[in-house]
Homo-oligomer: A and B are copies of this chain.
Amino acid sequence: MFSPSIRSLIEEKAGSFIIPASRIAFVEDENPLYHAFLILTKMKYSKIPVLDKNQKVVGLISLSMITDKMLTPDNIVIEPLSDLKVKDVMQTDFETINFAHTNLETQLHLLVDNPFIPVVNDNNIFQGLLTRREWIKAFNYVTHSIDDKYDITKKSDPSEAS
> In the complex, what's the smallest C-beta–C-beta distance from A150 to chain B, in angstroms?
5
Which of chain B's residues have a CB closer than 8 A to the CB of A6?
A: 142-143, 146
- State whether the Cβ of A155 lies closer than 8 Å to any Cβ in chain B: yes
Produce 1/0 per residue, A57-83, CB < 8 A to B.
000001110011001000011100100
Which of chain B's residues have a CB closer than 8 A to the CB of A67?
A: 37, 40-41, 63, 67
Q: Within the assembled complex, what's the spacing in Å between the Cα atoms of A113 and B140?
A: 13
Majority DSSP secondary structure for residues of A touching B: helix
Produce 1/0 per residue, A78-121, CB < 8 A to B.
10010000000000000000000000000011011101000000
A3-B147, A115-B115 known; 19 new pairs, CB 8 Å cut-off, are A1-B144, A2-B144, A3-B142, A37-B76, A40-B64, A42-B68, A44-B64, A46-B115, A63-B63, A63-B64, A76-B78, A77-B78, A78-B78, A108-B140, A115-B132, A135-B139, A149-B155, A150-B152, A150-B153
